[in-house]
Amino acid sequence: MKILKINSSIQTAKSVGRKLVDQIVSRLANNESKIIERDLAMGLPLLTQDMVNAFYTPEDERTDAQKEELSLSNLLIKEIEDSEIIVMGIPIYNFSIPASVKAYFDLIARVGVTFKYTNMGPVGLFENKKVYVVITSGGTAFMGDGDFASGYIKYFLGFIGITDVNFISADQLVANSEVQLENAKKQIAELV
C-alpha cells in the first residue's frame, strides 16, 4: 500500500495536526507500505502566467522552459497517482486553508490531467483514492459558520475525482484542547 502523507502546518514540533497525521499513518501502514511525504509548509510557488501557458500547451509542443515550469506540478500529481491513501494535515488559519494548501491545489488542478470538461461539466480523473484530512484550529468550530476550509477541501478533492474524504477534527484547541484531542484520537482508533 502506498500512502501520501501531506502536512501543511507552519508549526513543526508543536503541531497537533502533524502528530495526528503521524498517528493515522501509523494506524494504516503495514510493513510493506511505502510512505511518500510532502510538507507544504516548506513552500510552493504560486501560479504564474508562464505555468498556465505551459498547462495549456500540448505536451509535444512544450519548450524546455515550459517543461521545467511543469516539473513540480507533474511531481505532485504523480505522488497522488501513485498513492492509494492520502493523509492530509490542514490547519484552519484565519477561517480558511493555509496559502500553501491553496498553492498545492492550484498546482494539481490541471485540465486533461486531473480533471476534464464534458457536456455535463467537469469530471475528476482520480479514482479509487481514500483521503483522511486532519483539520485543526485554535478557535474555529469544525463545520461551523467560520469554517471556510473543510467545505472547500471536500469540494476541491471531489472536483479532481476524490470523493472518499474523511475528516478527523481537532478544533477549538485554545479553549478545549484535552476534550478535542481525545475525540480526534478516538476517531483515529476507529479507522479500519
Mean pLDDT of 86-95: 98
**What is the predicted pLDDT for the residue at 191?**
83
**What is the predicted pLDDT for the residue at 49?**
97
**102-118 confidence digits (pLDDT tens):** 999 999 999 999 999 99
Residue 104 belongs to domain spanning:
2-189
Q: What is the 3-state secondary structure (H, E, C) of the chain?
A: CEEEEEECCCCCCCCHHHHHHHHHHHHHCCCCCEEEEEEHHHCCCCCCHHHHHHHHCCHHHCCHHHHHHHHHHHHHHHHHHCCCEEEEEEECECCECCHHHHHHHHHHCCECCCEEEECCEEEECCCCCEEEEEEECCCCCCCCCCCCCHHHHHHHHHHCCCCEEEEEEECCHHHHHHHHHHHHHHHHHCCC
Dist CA 169 CA 86 (whole Å) = 16
Dist CA 162 CA 119 (whole Å) = 20
Share of the chain above pLDDT 90, in %: 95
- The gap from C-alpha 87 to its chain's centroid, in whole angstroms, comes to 7
CATH number of the domain enclosing 92: 3.40.50.360
**What is the predicted pLDDT for the residue at 18?**
97
**156-175 confidence digits (pLDDT tens):** 999 999 999 999 999 999 98
Q: For residue 61, what are the contacts with CB-CB under 8 A and spacing of at least 6?
A: none
Upper half-sphere CA count for residue 38 (Cβ side, 13 Å): 24
pLDDT at 68 over 70: yes
Q: Which of 131, 87, 103 is nearest to 41 (CA)?
A: 103
Domain count, the chain: 1
